[in-house]
Amino acid sequence: MKNIVIALNPSKDTEGKILSLVIEKITNIFKTSKITVLNSYEINKYKFDDDLDLLIVLGGDGTLLGIARDINGKYDVPILGINIGNLGFLSSIEIQDLGEALNKIKNGQYNIQNRILLECKSDDEDENISSKALNDVVIARGTLSRMAKFEVYIDKKLYYSFKGDGLIVSTPTGSTAYSFSAGGPFVYPDVEVITLTPICPHTRGMQPIVLKSSSEILIKAENYNGEIYLTFDGQEARKIKDNSSIIVKKAKDVAKILLFDNYDYFNVLRKKILDN
């Protein structure tokens, strides 16, 4: 490990005590490694001159999601998520397990799991929308708007037209997030599929569906001059035009998540989601 970057969410470690501990442990195990520390909110502004061997994310799920979007397509680097936030479902380890984790990395006792991302753009060139998501892309009505109408096309074929609050297009990684809350299925994180989950559909016929990852989803949204928003990973929101057409499909790049040989997805699922 020649070049290690630490992306810290400063709001989770205001006094820098956790950061100091992490640097100390890395230095003890990887004595000759170059360590670069960056604010997680500003990593997209930074240009790395050298190849990166490891990106350590200190924060919670939101921090990791933001980092995955910011570096995607720019740097081919595995991400080690260390939870110092609340839920930490996406994180590889908890902070107390750092020493053991670094030794496992040194000894090659880990795997890199490729997670698909979604890319989204508008069918209308004037909208100028282009972004990616590790969890989900959500198209929904505004808070004070009435129900919107959505037409959903899969590979240019009409799936269904319904009225409701919105639609969630989710990756397997995001299947435990908003999609789950709206009634969508859990999907094992490295399975290459895309799920569509309606939000409060007024039509009972509109049900969640699991699609192959190569599917292209086109969503036409009409809110009768009301507000419609497009949201990426619950973090970036864009107000879009009424009657907009949004295209969502699998991105060419993937997020590389570093996991250890003893990683047990179902144990994490029970502890972080099902038993809470």
Residues contributing to the annotated binding site: 61-62, 135-136, 146, 163, 165, 176-181, 235
Within 8 A by CB and 6+ apart from 251, the residues are 72, 73, 116, 117, 118, 119, 132
Written as six digits, the tokens of 132 are: 């990616």
Strands (E), 9-92: 34-39, 54-59, 79-83
The active-site residue, picked from 49, 50, 53, 61, is: 61
Within 8 A by CB and 6+ apart from 254, the residues are 114, 115, 116, 117
Task: Say whether 61 is catalytic.
Answer: yes
Query: What is the DSSP-derived secondary structure letter of residue 192?
Result: -
Q: Residue 177: which of 39, 258, 65 has the closest Cα?
A: 65
* 152 neighbors 196 (Cβ within 8 angstroms): yes
The CA–CA distances, whole Å, from 207 to 143, 146, 184, 244, 257 equal 23, 21, 9, 22, 31
Give the bridge partners for 238, in sequence order.
Answer: 230
Known binding-site residue numbers for NAD(+): 61-62, 135-136, 146, 163, 165, 176-181, 235
Give me the active site residues, please: 61
